[in-house]
Structure 1
Amino acid sequence: MHPSSDPSGVLDHIGPGTQLIVPLANGEPTATMDAIEAHAGDLTDVRVHQMHAIHDRPYLRGEFGDRLKHISYFLSHVTRPQFANGHVGLVPAHFSEVYGIMRSRTEDPLVLAAASPPDQHGYFSLGVSADYTSSFIGRARFFLEVTDDMPRTFGRNQLHVTQVVGWCRSDRPLVSVPPATSSDIDRAIAGYIAERVPDESTIQTGIGAIPNAIMSALQDHRDLGVHTELLSDGVVDLIERGVVNGVRKELNRTKTVGTFALGTDRLHDFLADNPAIELWPVRYVNNPAIIGRERNFISINATLSVDFLGQCASETIDGRYYSSSGGQNDFARGAMNSPGGQGFVVLHSTTSSGQSRIVPRLAPGDVVTTPKNTVDKVVTEYGVAELRGRSVRERTRALISVAHPDHRSELSEQAHRMGYI
């Protein structure tokens, strides 16, 4: 099975108005995208639909005008400034619904994806990505870029050589994302959560300093399961210690399930040909109805600001877009429906400049990601505010109790003026 073309072969399948679907993060076929940009002058109204791009590109900066433009479903450090500059579009969406929205916005899309080499049966694996892309298998045209660095993974992210319009090879390595270093504040937050996680729970968490601290704090737990959108290096640690084995899960028993992976080469090596790990489409993994079928489901997500009602603004800062909804609301709703489930929203009590992240009202223009009726527990380094089923007065007092001590007096005065306490 030889490659059908070099990366420029993709141009044979792109015409005026073609809608391109690209996986997030390391699922992006970089040499193929290079070839498209090299011939951008020949394109007309081509659009790229993608979440969380990690490769900076000229077209993201608007250098090709309307010939080639980007539509984002979750801003990254690369696309955030270009959205602010007006070069990138943004579609707010829950991660579980991104495939459905992409499908409704596109007609005869072409999916461009990085993949592992075909196996002896002629099947490619989409490797570190299933996300929204795998749901297009059998429903859209595919052009793949094979790299030896892409691990072959299991789950619902394989397609046969007869299902692609073309494929090429490149030697592009995957981007390695090292684990963030956890601080004392992160470890304090992790401790509050770990003591509330029963053995035999199924957990979801992300990437970053607080999630890393939480993974470390769970190392003495038993028989945990993982059902999460993002697989990171911290999951590897728990599996190798025997903490995560999935034997008590209701769904996909004994399997660790995610929809994409982002981490170091150690993670990539661990995923390669590992039947204990499965990557499933995000419309399954993040489906609140699926999540709610697990017993004692533990959802852990970060936010940027919480008001007295419990509204969590997780995608904007001072009214300016920073990311997007992602899967936070998906998992918060799923945990709410899980027997014994708990939804944790975590944040430092203050910003780096010392401003309180617990606020009377969200800033003008801030977007609510997890609404007040869904939020369960808000955790800072000062404790856990339990909000589910609580009155406005009870919520306000609980949140002030986990705010930074330097701000509690002022917050209390404002709460009195608002009539909340």
Structure 2
Amino acid sequence: MSYKDKVITLEQALDMIRPDMNVVTGLGAGEAQLIMNNIHTIADRVKNVTITNCLSMAHGDFLSEEYVDSFNIDGWFFSPPLRKAFKNGNISFIPNHLHLAGWKRLDHVKPDIFVGTASMPDKHGFISLSTSNTYESQMIETADIVILEINPNYPRTFGDVEIHYSEIDYFIEADYPVPTLPDVEPNEKDKKIGALIADLINDGDTLQLGIGGIPNAVAYALKDKKDLGIHTEMMTSGMVELIEAGAVTGKKKTLHKGKHVATFALGNKKLYDFIDNNPSVMILNGKYVNDPAVIGLNDNMVSINTAMEVDLSGQVCSESIGHIQFSGTGGQADTAVGAQNAKNGRSFIALYSTAMVRNPETGEKEEKSKIVPLLKRGAIVTLSRNDVDMVVTEYGVAHLRGTNVRERIERLVAIAHPDFREEIMKEAHEIGLIFDR
């Protein structure tokens, strides 16, 4: 059967979705935008369809309260549309470490349909899964029906994302732009934190960076470094800037020397143009890229992640506000542990010392410390205190590796906002975290 024989319309694809089915879609820009942005149109004829997604970029009409009987949504990583609609009652989070997300989910439930995106077929008939293979190829191998939205705007990437068209059941020909994330301009706090981290990064180190103001500031501060490498969960726009500046070459890497390794790419158009037909970029399965044992094969590995709150024992909450799910674990624990498995490896958790928090009684926003004696009630521990290494705020770096709890308290209080240090230490004494001799 030729490629053209496998091309169907959006309406034909939607007709394949039946009540009680499990539908999985790709991560981030790998999400099937046409299907997910139109799946609400079949709500009148389906019930109890479960949609599993991760960092969804769709505009989310299917998340409307009127469709709660038609669709359940299970998310590996919440994005703003899922957070907003969570109160509707048909959305739930899947606790996971990203490198295990795919196969653990498959151990629980098999997808009836997988819908994703792909680049155009090459002259040999191979398409590329393009921006993500975090779990996508695992789902393709297992799903009863596979539908890919094939799109000339999607970059053709290499790694283990290449699949012959004959292995895919159906294609929808699409022409929308690849979803992008806006560039976040670092603020003064970001720049201070970025500079503190950059001072502890050496020429030849291999990096994992997230996205946002702090990681962007770190990337900016690294432009004068030499022969850095990339082994990261997410290929970002900031990494392209480092490559073009000559700071990243991959020449010193001990694993995939000279290659920029990631499991998905999400950022601006410049990023997508860079990874298109670029053999120096490898998009590999998340089960491999994010495996802490694999990450640890990179000598001088450095993991840089952000957090929402850190308690005085070193517990890191990066995904919830109290008990309310905000984002997800993602690959934070994968990369933090993996980096410390490496020869000369290091892991950083970065956060602002304070945040503006709305007072539930007055409705006014108040400045609160993000270094706290105890995490908020019900807060999710994303990175255990056993796995924390260095914590960074705009006030300094707390080296916690191998320290006892008393030492952690002292070091974390020292990087808290000065206005809160006395209060934090006082509460630590009151609740019995520390006692005077």
How high is the TM-score relative to the length of structure 1? 0.96
For 1:265 and 1:90, locate their aligned partners in 2 and report how far apart those are by CA, in whole Å: 30
1:14-60 residue CA offsets vs partner (Å, 9 max, x unmatched): 33432111012211112123443322322243211111112222322
- Residue 99 of structure 1: CA displacement? 0.3
Tell which deviates more after alignment, 195-204 or 7-16. Answer: 7-16
Segments ≥4 residues shifted beyond 6 Å: none
For 1:324 and 1:240, locate their aligned partners in 2 and report how far apart those are by CA, in whole Å: 31
Aligned twin of 2:397: 384
- Residue 170 of structure 1: CA displacement? 1.6
1:104-153 residue CA offsets vs partner (Å, 9 max, x unmatched): 23235321001111111111111111111123343333211111111111
8 Å CA contact 1:156–1:280 kept in 2: the answer is: yes
8 Å CA contact 1:146–1:169 kept in 2: the answer is: yes
Aligned twin of 1:257: 261
8 Å CA contact 1:62–1:69 kept in 2: the answer is: no
Q: How does 1:246-395 map to 2 (within 5 A)?
A: 246-352=250-356, 353-395=366-408
1:416 equivalent in alignment to 2:424: no
Match of 2:141 among 127, 135, 138: 138
Amino acid at match of 1:150: Y
For 2:14 and 2:70, locate their aligned partners in 1 and report how far apart those are by CA, in whole Å: 14
Amino acid at match of 2:133: A
Tell which deviates more after alignment, 104-113 or 344-353. Answer: 104-113
For 1:33 and 1:76, locate their aligned partners in 2 and report how far apart those are by CA, in whole Å: 14
1:233-284 residue CA offsets vs partner (Å, 9 max, x unmatched): 1111111122111122122111101111111111111111111111111111
Q: Secondary structure at the residue paired with 2:354?
A: coil
8 Å CA contact 2:68–2:89 kept in 1: the answer is: no
For 1:5 and 1:276, locate their aligned partners in 2 and report how far apart those are by CA, in whole Å: 34
Amino acid at match of 1:75: F
For 2:433 and 2:92, locate their aligned partners in 1 and report how far apart those are by CA, in whole Å: 40
Amino acid at match of 1:179: D
For 2:112 and 2:242, locate their aligned partners in 1 and report how far apart those are by CA, in whole Å: 39
For 2:30 and 2:18, locate their aligned partners in 1 and report how far apart those are by CA, in whole Å: 23
For 1:157 and 1:84, locate their aligned partners in 2 and report how far apart those are by CA, in whole Å: 36
8 Å CA contact 2:180–2:267 kept in 1: the answer is: yes
- Residue 315 of structure 1: CA displacement? 0.9
8 Å CA contact 1:8–1:32 kept in 2: the answer is: no
Q: Secondary structure at the residue paired with 1:78?
A: helix
Instruction: Flag the 1:346–1:174 CA change in 2: closer, same or farther, 3 A.
Output: same
8 Å CA contact 2:36–2:58 kept in 1: the answer is: no
1:36-86 residue CA offsets vs partner (Å, 9 max, x unmatched): 332232224321111111222232224333332211111111101222331
Match of 2:89 among 86, 89, 92: 86
1:27 equivalent in alignment to 2:30: yes
Tell which deviates more after alignment, 290-299 or 243-252. Answer: 243-252
Amino acid at match of 1:277: V
Amino acid at match of 1:42: R
Amino acid at match of 1:70: I
Alpha-carbon RMSD across the aligned residues, in angstroms, is 1.5
For 1:147 and 1:18, locate their aligned partners in 2 and report how far apart those are by CA, in whole Å: 26
For 1:320 and 1:69, locate their aligned partners in 2 and report how far apart those are by CA, in whole Å: 18
8 Å CA contact 2:103–2:138 kept in 1: the answer is: no
8 Å CA contact 1:59–1:69 kept in 2: the answer is: no
Structure 1 unaligned spans of 5+:
none
1:363-392 residue CA offsets vs partner (Å, 9 max, x unmatched): 111111111110000000000001111011
8 Å CA contact 1:59–1:70 kept in 2: the answer is: no
